[in-house]
């Protein structure tokens, strides 16, 4: 009998998602889709607001990655106030923002790996769901769970020191930053009581990479083969080809490593990227115009960044990068589960960059803001934890925002996430008479590798259960399960 | 001087109207605590609870989480929080029970923990509480001020619970 399986909401990702899997009469997966129930009205909401409010307003989008939106909006407004296109800020302005950004990447990657992904690795994709969660990790591997907690806390404290406060931070303003780092703040991060100091964070970052590599050695088939598929990859890179998570030019490579977007200025992104609308999803599907809707899709995020950049400008992460690249003989890595390996190398890189910045005297003195000739339009991009984030604003003669366009990281990964779901569903469900919880989780594991943020921002007390609904060809519900 | 270590922790997104009730509660109560010179009461506020909060509550005798509620309650309600052992974790909505459970497993501590639910009504993309939410906020603050005059009672009640 033909069946449709619905997984809603997807657990351990940010926000709400629903997966439908159609199984044909032969018992094989015929189609699967990830539907995103995402609010798409934000661009209209900021219209009419004074442009300088945008870096604070956009934090209403999401309680998970407000810093990324805060900084991307500020970068777009730098252009509008004449502070250049990402490289015109004062040293203090740029370095304080970078410190904020690396704090965000560090805490986000730590949270994702230790608390969302590690249960799948430690207990198995089809492990007992009663213990396959962070409470299970805390009981069996308390050292790992504590590391995750403290790394997240360290990153949050960096954000607080640079953005000014935890909620609706105001640190980044058009043309720069509104505060210096104080001596007390600097000392607390460099010489803080164990474990809350930067040396420990670097050490734990290295441990995390080693943990993943060790797991990989023992589980090659799963890590290399699970939901692996060829794709193009897109990210910012520094002009010399280095990884740069805060600023750079846009580069894309195909599955074989050939450059297909040649280090272009992101102010012109509309010349290269468009978004397709599909009637079954609220989320658009971005693609490279030159290659069309069918072939122009790409991946963003940690794996893409490893594939586009030529080196990482910090020594420990560079060493890990070389090992990562050697695994695929220098070719792009298209293995979805290697996203976790890449993410942890970035976590280590972020810790190293924070150390470098914390020791930089520019953070404690110097001009905070620069301005120049005003413009009426600006684009701000950065590499958010989950991938390339686009903010684009145009203002009118009254300094009000009249147009806003946002392409968030998860939207950039829309097509690859759908493909990953399809690969995982086929891999685990084809020919199976009974669909188990472990098979369902395998699909979620594929999605989780992309660390999607489907934020709904408003929360309320209540549960967020996983609901599985089986529907036959006539759309009649034949089974329903919740966990 | 209080003999107990207390944390009052409000969470929500003040950019989403009444979702900011927890944050507003903390802001108002902290002013009162400072004026009364009640030491040992700490305050924190964030968009949502997250894993590091397990560490933050580990050394406390009493914790009160404060959140906006869409539940069918009259104005506010204060309920004890048990360690949640059956967790379906999403970082966009870590529950107080989840935080207590994590604290128990990571630090072997279970502070007396309560959740103050304050009823909200409006959730649009703008700042500022609705009038009805403000009224509920005032009522809940009056209630908690009374409780804080004898926090030992709340702690004992939790142990009985």
Domain tally, chain B: 1
At residue A279, the pLDDT reads: 75
Q: Which residues of B touch A116 (CB under 8 A)?
A: 89, 91
Chain mean pLDDT for chain B: 89
Q: Compute the distance between CA of residue A397 and CA of residue A393 in angstroms, rounded to an integer.
A: 14
CB-closest option in B45, B70, B92 to A456:
B92
Boundary-marking domain end, from A334, A358, A385 = A334
B58: domain CATH number is 3.40.50.1450
Could you say which of A292, A318, A334 is where a domain stops?
A: A334
Report CA-CA distances (Å) from A314 to A143, A190, A317, A318, A345: 27, 18, 6, 6, 11
Look at A166 and B102 and tell me if their CB atoms are within 8 Å.
no
Q: How confident is the model at residue A461 (pLDDT cuts 50, 70, 90)?
A: very low
Give the nearest chain B residue to A151 (CA atoms).
B52
Q: Which residues does residue B66 pair with via DSSP β-bridges, in sequence order?
A: B10, B116
In a domain? residue A362? no
Is A115 in Cβ contact with B89 (below 8 Å)? yes
Contacts of B46 in chain A (CB under 8 A): 166-167
Decide if B16 and A464 are in contact by the 8 Å CB cutoff: no
Report the 3 state secondary structure along A150-216: HHHHHHHHHHHHHHCCCCCCCCEECCEECCCCCHHHHHHHHHCCCCCCHHHHHHHHHHHHHHHHHHH
Domain for residue A279, yes or no? yes
In this prediction, residue A169 carries a pLDDT of: 84
Which of B115, B126, B145, B131 has its CA nearest to residue B19? Answer: B126
pLDDT reported for residue B113: 97
**Residue A438's pLDDT is what?**
79
Nearest neighbour of B15 by CB, restricted to A59, A139, A148: A59
Beta strands (DSSP E) in A426-466 are 453-454
Q: Are A460 and A347 in contact (CB under 8 A)?
A: no
A471 band by pLDDT with thresholds 50, 70 and 90? low
Split at pLDDT 50, 70, 90, the class of A103 is very high
In a domain, A307, yes or no: yes
- What pLDDT is recorded for position A467? 46
Residue A307 three-state SS? helix
pLDDT tens for residues B38-58?
778 999 998 888 888 999 999
What is the average pLDDT across B127-143? 96
The answer as to whether B41 is a domain residue is yes
With vertex at residue A255, the alpha carbon angle to CA A254 and CA A260, rounded to the nearest 5 degrees, is: 5
pLDDT given for residue A305 in this prediction: 98
Quote the pTM value: 0.89
Residue A307 C-alpha, separation from nearest chain B C-alpha, in angstroms: 28
Provide the domain limits for residue A24: 3-40+424-482
CA distance A456 to A285: 20
Domain membership flag for residue A313: yes
d(CA B108, CA A308): 45
Q: Which of A149, A465, A483 sits opposite B54 (nearest CB)?
A: A149
Most confident of A50-64, A112-126, A465-479, B106-120: B106-120
Residues of chain B contacting residue A63, judged by C-beta atoms under 8 Å apart? 13, 47-48, 92
Q: Which of A42, A63, A119 to mutate to test the interface with B (most CBs of B within 10 A)?
A: A63
Order of strands, sheet of A3-8, starting from the edge strand that comes earlier in the sequence: A29-36, A17-23, A3-8, A467-472, A477-482
Three-state DSSP state, A481 = strand
Q: Has residue B102 been placed in a domain?
A: yes
* pLDDT reported for residue A5: 59
The 3-class SS string of A422-449 reads HHHHHHHHCCCCCCCHHHHHHHHHHHHC
CA atoms within 13 A on the CB side of B23: 22
Residue A12 has pLDDT above 50, yes or no: no
Let me know if residue A200 belongs to a domain: no
Of A316, A334, A352, the domain-final residue: A334
Q: What total of structural domains would you count in chain A?
A: 2
Q: Which residue of B has its CA nearest to A142?
A: B106
* Cβ neighbours of A291 (radius 10 Å): 16
Q: Do the Cβ atoms of A424 and A443 come closer than 8 Å? A: yes
Inside any domain, residue B1? no
pLDDT surpasses 80 at A162: yes
* A395 interfaces chain B, CB cutoff of 8 Å: no
Residue A115 placed within a domain: no
For B10, which residue in chain A has the nearest alpha carbon? A167
Mean pLDDT of A433-453: 78
Q: Which helix (H) or strand (E) holds B65?
A: strand B62-69
Minimum-distance CB partner of A464 among B14, B88, B123: B88
d(CA B127, CA A347): 34
Residue A366 backbone class (left: φ over 0; alpha: ψ -120 to 50; beta: rest): left
Structural domain for B48, as ranges? 6-160
Closest residue in A to B100 (Cα–Cα):
A135
Q: Residue A237 is inside which H or E element, if any? A: strand A232-237
Q: Is A214 within a domain?
A: no
Nearest chain B Cα to A152, which residue?
A: B52
The answer to whether the Cβ–Cβ distance between A166 and B45 falls below 8 Å is: yes
Residues near A84 by beta carbon (within 8 Å), at least 6 away in sequence: A78, A370, A372
Task: With residue A480 as reference, give the H or E element that holds it.
Answer: strand A477-482
Range in A361-365, B43-47, B157-161 with the lowest mean pLDDT: B157-161
Question: CA A75, CA A77: separation in Å to the nearest integer?
Answer: 5
Q: Name chain A contacts of B12, Cβ cutoff 8 Å.
A: 459
Percentage of residues in chain A having pLDDT higher than 70: 87
Comparing A204-213, B89-98, B144-153, the range with the smallest average pLDDT is B89-98
Is residue B53 assigned to a domain?
yes
> What band does A320 get if pLDDT is binned at 50, 70 and 90?
very high
Q: Are A10 and A18 in contact (CB under 8 A)?
A: yes
> Which residues have CB under 8 Å from A398's CB, separation 6+?
none
| Strands ordered across the beta sheet of A232-237 | A259-264, A249-253, A232-237, A298-299
Flag whether A197 is in a domain. no
A40 or A430, which is more confident? A430
Please tell me the predicted confidence (pLDDT) of residue A457: 26
């Amino acid at each position: 009998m033909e069946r449709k399986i619905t997984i809603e909401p997807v657990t351990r990702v940010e926000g709400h998602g629903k997966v439908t899997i159609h199984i044909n009469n032969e018992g094989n997966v015929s189609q699967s889709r990830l539907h995103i129930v995402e609010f798409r009205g934000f661009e209209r909401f900021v219209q009419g607001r004074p442009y300088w409010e945008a870096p604070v307003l956009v934090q209403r989008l999401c309680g998970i990655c407000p810093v990324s939106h805060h900084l991307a909006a500020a970068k777009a407004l730098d252009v509008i106030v004449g502070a250049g296109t990402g490289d015109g800020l004062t040293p203090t302005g740029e370095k304080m923002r970078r410190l904020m950004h690396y704090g965000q990447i560090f805490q986000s990657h730590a949270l994702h790996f230790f608390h969302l992904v590690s249960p799948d690795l430690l207990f198995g994709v089809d492990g007992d769901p009663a213990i396959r969660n962070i409470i299970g990790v805390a009981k069996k591997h308390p050292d790992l769970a504590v590391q995750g907690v403290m790394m997240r806390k360290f990153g949050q404290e960096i954000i607080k020191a640079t953005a000014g406060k935890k909620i609706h931070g105001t640190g980044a303003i058009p043309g720069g930053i509104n505060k210096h780092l104080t001596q007390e703040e600097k000392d607390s991060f460099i010489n803080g009581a164990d474990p809350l100091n930067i040396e420990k964070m670097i050490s734990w970052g290295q441990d995390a990479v080693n943990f993943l590599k060790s797991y990989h050695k023992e589980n090659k088939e799963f890590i290399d083969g699970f939901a692996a598929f060829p794709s193009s990859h897109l990210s910012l890179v520094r002009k010399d080809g280095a990884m740069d998570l805060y600023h750079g030019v846009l580069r894309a490579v195909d599955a074989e490593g050939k450059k297909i977007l040649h280090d272009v200025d992101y102010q012109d992104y509309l010349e290269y990227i468009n978004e397709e609308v599909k009637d079954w999803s609220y989320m658009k599907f971005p693609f490279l115009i030159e290659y069309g809707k069918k072939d122009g899709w790409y991946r963003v995020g940690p794996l893409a960044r490893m594939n586009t950049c030529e080196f990482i400008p910090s020594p420990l992460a560079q060493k890990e990068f070389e090992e990562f690249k050697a695994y695929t003989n220098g070719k792009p890595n298209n293995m979805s589960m290697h996203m976790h390996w890449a993410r942890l190398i970035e976590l280590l890189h972020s810790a190293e960059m924070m150390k470098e910045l914390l020791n930089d005297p520019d953070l404690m003195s110097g001009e905070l803001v620069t301005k120049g000739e005003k413009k009426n339009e600006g684009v701000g991009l950065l590499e958010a934890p989950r991938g390339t984030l686009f903010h684009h604003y145009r203002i009118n003669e009254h300094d009000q925002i009249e147009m806003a366009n946002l392409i968030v990281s998860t939207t950039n990964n829309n097509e690859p996430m759908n493909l990953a779901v399809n690969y995982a569903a086929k891999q685990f469900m084809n020919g199976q008479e009974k669909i188990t919880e472990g098979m369902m989780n395998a699909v979620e594991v594929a999605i989780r590798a992309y660390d999607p943020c489907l934020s709904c921002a408003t929360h309320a007390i209540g549960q967020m259960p996983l609901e599985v609904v089986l529907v036959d060809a006539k759309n009649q519900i034949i089974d329903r399960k919740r966990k | 001087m209080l003999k107990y270590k207390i944390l009052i922790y409000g969470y929500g997104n003040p950019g989403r109207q009444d979702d900011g009730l927890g944050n507003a509660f903390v802001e108002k109560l902290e002013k009162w605590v400072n004026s009364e010179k009640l030491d040992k009461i700490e305050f924190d506020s964030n968009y949502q609870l997250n894993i590091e909060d397990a560490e933050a509550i580990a050394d406390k005798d009493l914790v009160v989480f404060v959140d906006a509620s869409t539940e069918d309650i009259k104005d506010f309600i204060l309920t004890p929080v048990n360690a949640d052992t059956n967790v379906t974790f999403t970082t966009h909505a870590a529950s107080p029970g989840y935080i207590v459970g994590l604290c128990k497993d990571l630090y072997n501590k279970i502070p007396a923990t309560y959740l103050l639910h304050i009823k909200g009504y409006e959730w649009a993309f703008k700042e500022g509480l609705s009038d009805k939410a403000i009224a509920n906020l005032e009522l809940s603050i009056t209630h908690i001020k009374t409780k804080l005059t004898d926090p030992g009672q709340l702690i004992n009640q939790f142990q009985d619970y």
